[in-house]
Structure 1
């Protein structure tokens, strides 16, 4: 009798263990084979007047294309009430709006105040509106390498640019604003100007900002990913976020840069592949499409 009871208990235990193993296997199979949900995207809006003319259309587009962050250039011709209405509408649909601005000259000490004024305007605006009407962050698009003096005075310009970034990031932190920057993919080719600091400029940028939007503009996902991989890996290490940009507008940089001449089917395919490649990194925030205006044009003319 004792032996029979022992055998029965062993059988029950075996059944419980086998059931647990089968349940775990089912969970793993579901995780592997269930279709992935849509990946978040971001986009840039350069003509701020559009938020007055067609706010619902912009938000409907963002919902349809899974855009979760809009980088909106600040325009002096747009009234604060228009920002309030648009941001409130976007917020109600789970979409963040970040104030966007910048000029190459802002990297220079004598014109840094313009960047300060931009940040201060956002901070004052946010303090005067309700939470759902506030900008969630700011993005600087400075690009000092477009200055005519860049080649001859690069080291000095980089030092001044870094001074400005330190000041802007401190101000943003004080005002509880996320702060990001649009940057080229080749900043790792520039060393930190201080000989005592062994760090590429790209890594330093990751350390300063909450997120980067890297302009890895290529019309093939694999090429965009390769241009972004170093920044993504560094952001993995530092716990930061990276948007990987794709270009849809006309480009003067030669073939293989923009999707402007590619059909919509190619854009869709390559964006999905870029999401898959970028998804190998915890820092990958998603694909950022440049720009909203070019994106809507592409959807209206899918074969061009």
Structure 2
């Protein structure tokens, strides 16, 4: 009898361990309603890099309170390395990854290659001096060449240079062994690459480990519809696609941002968006633009 009891207990223990192994290894993001979506993360951009020197605790406490998993932090040579190390270490202690962020429209043009080299060299040099808990966990670029006059005067030529620079960037970043992502507009599927029938969005998604769409709208359905084509691309290509939302005022119209609606509506729509987009295996999560604007949105709501 004792042998049988021990055998049953062992089998139960093994079953529990298998269950934990299968489900515990999945990255999940929990919503207020208790629903979880595998591999879904929350991320945000931090462009005001100097704030990691003056109010790191406020930034990280807020990020933790909002369930942020990744902060895309713009690199500024005006900020000391010790500030980066301290901020990333504190973020790591809260379970938040920090990815190195930078970019400019002319990074898409041939003459912008030295800027790509300088950025990747800075990251490589930093990683070489930082302890494991102080290191970046990824790289993101935000290039946006459609803001250049060349986009209108010679779009095919601009796209070719952009493609060349993306390949160049991949080669530079590969030795760092960090995931490489890009912020992209949601409408690149309206354009074809200069050679072939492939859409520009498909080409870009295929080249990066993941992409974050600037799918800025002020309701979940509209954001999802803006991102759906890229989510389908991601499924075919085995890549993650993150949907983006805006919290800051926009000159393009009130429908672009949650600035008018406030943080309570934002949270409601994020939950709905996650439910809609989780139908796609490519859905990587939601990115909120940006951390400072988000904090201001919540503060305005708290003051009402």
Length-normalised TM-score, structure 2: 0.85
* Deviation, structure 1 residue 37: 4.2
In structure 2, list runs of 5 or more residues that go unmatched. 1-32
In the alignment, which residue of structure 2 is the partner of 1:101?
A: 102
In the alignment, which residue of structure 1 is the partner of 2:225?
A: 226
In the alignment, which residue of structure 1 is the partner of 2:181?
A: 180
> Cα deviation per residue 1:157-204 (whole Å; 9 max; x = unaligned)?
00001100001112222211111111000101110111xx32101001
In the alignment, which residue of structure 1 is the partner of 2:279?
A: 280
Contact 2:205 2:239 in 1 (8 A): yes
Give matches, 1:1-304, under 5 Å.
35-37=34-36, 40-194=41-195, 197-302=196-301
* Deviation, structure 1 residue 154: 0.6
Provide the rounded CA distance (Å) in 2 between the counterparts of 1:127 and 1:159: 33
Provide the rounded CA distance (Å) in 1 between the counterparts of 2:295 and 2:86: 22
Partner-residue secondary structure (3-state), 2:249: coil
In the alignment, which residue of structure 2 is the partner of 1:20?
A: none
Provide the rounded CA distance (Å) in 2 between the counterparts of 1:40 and 1:159: 32
Contact 2:205 2:233 in 1 (8 A): yes
Q: Which moved more, 1:260-269 or 1:270-279?
A: 260-269
Provide the rounded CA distance (Å) in 2 between the counterparts of 1:291 and 1:179: 20
In structure 1, list runs of 5 or more residues that go unmatched. 1-33
Please say which structure displays the higher CA radius of gyration.
1
> Cα deviation per residue 1:96-150 (whole Å; 9 max; x = unaligned)?
1011111101111112210121011101110121111111111111100000221
Provide the rounded CA distance (Å) in 2 between the counterparts of 1:54 and 1:180: 27
Partner-residue secondary structure (3-state), 2:235: helix
Provide the rounded CA distance (Å) in 2 between the counterparts of 1:45 and 1:55: 11
Provide the rounded CA distance (Å) in 2 between the counterparts of 1:138 and 1:264: 28
Contact 2:262 2:298 in 1 (8 A): no
Length-normalised TM-score, structure 1: 0.85
Provide the rounded CA distance (Å) in 1 between the counterparts of 2:262 and 2:110: 44
Partner-residue secondary structure (3-state), 1:171: helix
RMSD between superposed Cα atoms in Å:
1.5
> Cα deviation per residue 1:264-298 (whole Å; 9 max; x = unaligned)?
22111111111111111122111100000110001
Contact 2:249 2:257 in 1 (8 A): yes
